Amino acid sequence: MPYGGADDTRATSELPAALLEARRRNAAAQFRQAWVLAAPVFPQARDRADWLVAAEAALLLARASGNLRDQAEALRWVHEAMQAAAAASRADLVCAAWIEAARTHARDEDGASAQRAIDEALALVPQLASAEAIESAYSGLTAVYSELGLTSLAVACGRHALEYAELSHEVARVCMARTNFLIIGAVACEQALEPDPPLAQRLLAELRPQLERLRHEVPQVGTPLAQARLLRVAGALAVCEERWAEAADDFTQLTAYAGHLPPQLLNSAWIELGLVLRRLGQHEAALHSGRQAEACNPVPHAPRRWVDLRRLALIRDLTGESQEAFALLRRSQDRRHHIVMSALESRADMLSARLDEQSLRLENEGLRRSNASLRASVADIARLAETDPLTGLLNRRGLEAAWAGLAGPEGQQRLLGMVDIDHFKQVNDRHSHIVGDAVLRQVARLMSHELRGSDRMARYGGEEFAALVVGADPVAGTPVFERLRRVVEQHDWSRIAPGLRLSISIGVVRVARGESLEAAAARADKLLYLAKAAGRNRVLVDEGPGPGAEALA
């Protein structure tokens, strides 16, 4: 059905006072009070066929229910909002309802349903006539992509939301959009520090002036919550720049706003403070912060969502329960990867369907360009399915695909090296599993830089990697693996954790023609265990299926 164009502006003057107050309560994270205020407005507006007010009330009830973690109730109100918005012929409210549906599905970790709702919302954005409506849409999509763990997309949407918010010249609105952009930008920056330092520096260069603008805007807004969010952003950027003392001061001040903070923000403040204090060597204070975070954890028992699992993992890590922290962090990463993949696969299905539809139309140059773009998107999604989310290397599935495609011409040699980080469990036990993940990312990066373009590096599982060297016999290929061993041994690991030193052990075999990855990996693993038994930090090379081995290092 067509929706209104020029009238796609939600005029606050048309809304009852109770609904405006409910909006303010919801923005202040007083979700229960917001729900109570908005609940009677909806049936009153519906009964008098005031569909604009009914849609606004239903949307607010959906948001409040979602923030209160009642996903079934949130979806019920989303349905009511869509019906009322359609009756009012308001594209902006229909778009907002789809975004709220996407957010609810994302909170429920249904990535495929969330992506379908995102696609519906994006299809409506070109119909939105006002900057306010477009800013609201992109702000909502920023939250959805954050829930899904798709940080780069969240940053892009946050950037668009800020651009449109600045057109309004409303300080409170601009302040909120800038805060949201800085928060997701800081997350993206922290994630990029190890695997992609240039990207992290570009993000920091973009975020620093935004933080200074926010410092000028927050006093004009004048609310404790705005000041608290400023401290959160300032602390997060200080962490990215390794200004630990400033970060500790920001997060300490943030915890003092306890009475004004929603539970998730207060809990995050104590966690971040604990992690920074541990960086400063203040272990007793870090333990205290961990216990404070444990006391105010909004999901203290049996968490299911990836964000809740990660939060509890960090708390357990701060309170010295490293084994449980490791298990929780693994579960969090697995769940996040599953959600991201289900969202991307849903997107791939939609793109494939569009390809099939377009292939039936007249072929012209414009259509061919469109198809090429869509195929590239599908290929990107397929590539993500074969990528390890932590290191960016191939995962085991990706290595198997590469293995099948690298049979090569007759006589071409292939060497497979199985690589294991020595004493990796001690890294986790002594320095935390967060440091362990940073180690895995840096080891992957160092070794990848030593390989040629034709070679392949994969994370095989845990702290074990696989390196596939193509077109080299054992004599010529052996120095490649020795370089991998040396670059890890000689790297300065103190930047990740003071006093940290690392080495790797490698077992290398020549791959027989027609040999499966599983069989070759099993042979290389045997040599890897021999290398560890012989003292670690060495390479053992087997020139063929027989038992003879040559020791290096």
**Could you list the active site residues?**
463
Q: What is the DSSP letter of 407?
A: -
Q: Which residues contact 83 (CB under 8 A, 6 or more apart)?
A: none
Q: Which residues contact 314 (CB under 8 A, 6 or more apart)?
A: 271, 274, 275, 293, 325, 434
- What type of residue sits at position 299? V
Q: Pick from 471, 450, 538, 468: which is nearest to 509 by CA?
A: 468
Give the burial class of 2: count Cβ atoms within 10 A of its Cβ; 0-12 exposed, 13-18 middle, 19 or more buried: exposed
Count of positions (residues) in the chain = 553
Helix (H, G, I), strand (E, B) or coil at 426: helix
Q: Which residue's entry shows tokens 């023609």?
A: 513
DSSP secondary structure letter of residue 90: B
| Residue in the block written with tokens 């919801």 | 26
Question: For strand 504-510 and strand 539-542, is the pairing parallel, antiparallel, or unpaired?
Answer: parallel
Other Cβ atoms within 10 Å of 363 Cβ, number: 11
Burial class (CB in 10 A: 0-12, 13-18, 19+), 141: buried
Relative orientation angle of helices 197-221 and 171-192, to the nearest 10 degrees: 160
Nearest to 33 by CA among 43, 23, 48: 23
Give the single-character DSSP code of 499: T
Tokens for 481, please give them: 């693996």
